[in-house]
Structure 1
């Protein structure tokens, strides 16, 4: 087994040598090539000296045995061989291997090897082949010597060596066969075998030659890299070596160390190492470590250099000698001032808000926990949760730069108002929190809260714009509302919600009933999510009536929630929750799809009106939802009417108008709902050509008793008629109202006078579908191929009947 492995290794080595190629980077390949030229120059000189006696011996043999013609031919080849040798010699003397064109020189040497091989081997082979020289043994010895000499001379150039050996062996082998016939074949075979051995041996030498120089090149590069790194370290490193004796006095201070501490070398000699550093706990730790004589690492100590306080990191250990451990210590010092500053910044950012420099949520919670834990039984602690009113409008209209300026101003005003009474923190966005230690009575806390509202509400000039922002505050007082940090923050947040519900720019003190209301709201949210999964939602339809014909021309789709336990729940209960939680977008999409599926069962002259929320207008799903629903049901687009309120156009007016134009281009009709209750109704009529204007019920309610209501409705119907728009009056409950609306030119009406909202089965002329296929709501969080809808608190299906 061992012999087989050895043979296999020999064969692998042979294959590797014969197929060897210099597969390295070009720079290393060039280095090896130039080393080949140097080696060839040295060996060729030796070869010329050896060939001189061989040439003399050849001349003696020729003149002793050969005829004149053969002497002339052999002399010709001898002259060529001598010329090539002389040319090679003088070229190598003048050649600089480090600058020469090594590729051209190598080609020249290969050509010379071919000519020299032909000339040198022909000198005696030709006379011998024709019987002029009788001594075959001498010829064989000369041939073998020539092969060995050629392999030696051309061994550093494998191609030249192979050509030389091939030509020389061929000529000598042919001469043996020509001179001795079949008897010369054995000699020729032996000569070929010898030539192959020579070629193999010198190729192996060349293989080792190349490997040796490649290895040397790599070592040289590595050494150069190390040298450069050491030089760079010595020039640029912030580390310095130090050494002290058994009394902690500095010995052998280097110039770099002296420069680092801004002292002369003579000043540093015999100075105690600890005297370089400022009095501190860290310096005392260094002194203790030096006194113990034990190795130490990463001791940070302050040092003053050129009047500037900096920080060094020191490590050291006792010096090891042949006789054991010395009492001297040696170590390294590094300047870590930048790292210390960076660490301090990171620590600051971890606990303070980067914009306002107020404590952040984490630091506020830590401080609140400490304050609660230190409260005495006769003390109170208040947590105030603050939220700016309409801050989003500032960002949207003036940009985030203005918003940041407002936040910084608010932070400053809060700190000025609170002073040293407590801590002010920014929790994120436009939310702030305040903790008041030993706050006194509840009235005192409310007084401070009102003072905050007053100061924050003062106008502020930002980029030439006068900005007035309000603030709502929720208050929780310990121990009445609890003594837990999370509890107090939670209850103050609940009180903040109550303050916002009460009109904003006010403060609300937490009460238990608030928590119950929030819990009820949370229950509605949980139930509503379940309702979405169980398909408990249902559309009711309230008829739209033509005043002229008293016929039903369409219906408005109104959402109801048929709760499994609580029964029918009206929109004013669950829609606000849907708005706050973002479910409103999915509800709106379902209403559009369900309403169109239902219209497919109605007579073709009936239309359906669906309310759109501002959140749906911002959702990228709106257009795909409308298009897909129309395509799936085959309903004519003109039978779908989408109602929007002025609030839709108030936010991001341009993009919403563009979207309305796209929807209208499908053939869908657009109505402006609750007209007259907003801020810029006439401007909205100018920005978009609505198909219908719906007059709000607040004007309809008094149309039969108040002249101002009649005047407003008269103006709206006249304006709509001139703009080519239909008018619909909502909330008609009395016949007198209907009569007056007809006199004022109103075209359509709806309300309890005609019908309350009814289930789909009660629609007049409805044809029950053969197979009922309810439209399913997607579950919350379910992935869709459509873009994820934008969620925002909005107002949607607000009508109760």
Structure 2
């Protein structure tokens, strides 16, 4: 049926409807010639782009849009292909070519064919979808980002890490992962409330963003107080250690939350692909194990993953299980370290420390089981038992020295703690003034009114209060202004280096002593080990000394025996000068020379070198490659050689491993080992890659050095 002709009136009506539709802003129209140049464009488009219609006419249709790849869409790249193919397209999302605004359109186009059957151009229409696009992006962001901190959430971190490691496996590139857990965050949440905890998490996120500024890195909050950082193309453990230290320092700075001052800390675990895992699951598991190790080591630390952490984690689980039964099974005991009057060398007080004699593991150090007790909510019962035992022991000592007992923040925040102290005093019949409770500034993280009420209750009992570890944790003088302390204990970190030239610790200690005298408080210096430190404390007028130069912690029976005369005087006995504690090292390492590997014993280790025993007739200047295991290789030169002992100097210094030890900056990549014939897998304990890296057909020479068994001193051929 033929189409009826359109009258002029109908054409005018259609034109008016077109103009009304365009001016409404709902949609717009466009047309192009066969070369793809605009022959018509609605005025609303020109206005939105800040140009006139005349400027746009004659321009290629693509010039209206940005054709770069968008983060979420790839369809923009298809527009030139569609136009050149002269195909119909419907609702294609494109972004307007603007620098100062983000406008999105959905455009459609239909090819036009002339009466001669040839293509004459396009006609099409468009609508503004900016609001819809923004809504979709917001929804996408909510699905990928943490609504509280704005950081990536667990889903995005897992997805991006998985994609990165898959791509990096093909490219043979490295990627580090840091797991971060906040120390003492739960205490802030419990005492100040969840809104304060949320504000604290926001501030932590901001600090992390100030530390990690590389755009290729990504910071995420996995939930609660756990954060994750992905650091592509970084495998230098020296650099990673410095980043971790900076994070710990930044996060540990004080916070102001709703008028309250909060101090928290951070523990960091680090794993690196492909050394510590190939897949994202393996690397995250390794970083988690390193994080647990840093928390077990005392918190406020970082640890790199190593294969022995699996056995450490199993040991930790065993310790936590056994710790629950330790008190009931009579495995705990209390020992006492003397605190000495600086001028007279008389014992004036003894600090109580707990020891755990495990039936299978032997003596478990407090540095291991105390953090576990805190995390497992066992520190309260354990602390209460120590308090009662210390009071019962002190009342039996000859004379009247005081006994000092450490009180955890968990004990102090318990409303019934004052009653526990009163009960311990009543049951033991110890005079209240002989009991000194040592508190750290972490007690001030709690509710201020409750803290002040507890101070009042304890002072009414007549006990003494000491502020322990003063000078650490960003101590505030307001603590001393409001809290009724009787003593300040100067942390040993201020003692170290006090005798060195140009060291400022002397000035700091002088200020602390002067402040204490003005407030009527005593002072005790902790950790004194050498005579030069002792003389410095006497010169600075510190009142009391605690440290190995006088005595380590001793048993209750030893205290009673030493005080039989009623007065216990200890003469200082220690080195003349303080020397940093040396790490004891006695383990097997490999020495590679030419095409031979020798097994030797490493006896000491520093950043710059080590001493080994096991080879004879080694000339000075000989170069070795030391194989520490787990892909750690270091080139070293012999600087001293005597008998079977050699002193080696590393060509590149070792770096801090976060656990008080040292490690190499770099390791042999599993990708290199895979090329040499090993399966592609994370580095395993005791892997020795050097023999796999030898060239096929390489001639084998005779060993140049004889080997000695240090135990029997016998020489044998290597």
Q: Which has the larger radius of gyration?
A: 1
Same fold (TM over 0.5): no
TM-score (norm 2): 0.45
More strand by share: 2
More helix by share: 1
Higher relative contact order (CA 8 A, sep 6+): 2
TM-score (norm 1): 0.41
